[in-house]
Amino acid sequence: MGVTVTRKINANLDKALKELDKLTGKVGWFKSSIYRNGEAVAYIATIQEYGVPEKGIPARPFMRPTIAANQEVWKKILLMKSAEILEGTRTAKEAMESVLIRAKADIQKTISELQDPPLAASTIAARLRKKTDQKTLGLLSKPLVDTGHMRDTVSYEIEKL
């Protein structure tokens, strides 16, 4: 069984390659993602990803492990969408968006599931002091998720180059 390259498929491929050549996709936090205190979520996410040992903040990587664990899945999604591009039923931008949506969800899942290294007792105590009702215990000891803002603001962009 083989693929017969018709003029239509060839034209769709040329169109898709030209479209992709002008696009770049990104997943993460952008300028609009900020905390109430004005700090950029991307800045805090970087601190969590790499840690700041001199300040006693351990690395809690979530981006790099997500990429390592899922890049083959993302490639398969793009490969499946490629057939639709060749058929002319999907644009290259739509295919890219499918991968970015999945990558966003995978990053959010990693953030939600990360448990190690555990939070320091002082961090848990600080979280408890911030809680207004003093009864909310669900996220006190969960690394990376205090308010859920970092997880909830993971986003993606497709930019024209």
Question: What pLDDT, on a 0 to 100 scale, did the predictor assign at position 1?
Answer: 46
What long-range pairs does 17-20 form, CB within 8 A, spacing at least 24?
A: 17/92, 19/91, 19/92, 19/93, 20/92, 20/96
Q: What is the mean pLDDT of residues 124-128?
A: 82
User: Whole-model pTM?
Assistant: 0.82
The reply to whether 109 falls in a domain is yes
Q: Mean pLDDT for the chain? A: 86
The reply to whether 97 falls in a domain is yes
Given a cut of 60, whether residue 89 has pLDDT beyond it is: yes
The reply to whether 146 falls in a domain is no
The reply to whether 141 falls in a domain is no
Q: What is the mean pLDDT of residues 80-109?
A: 92
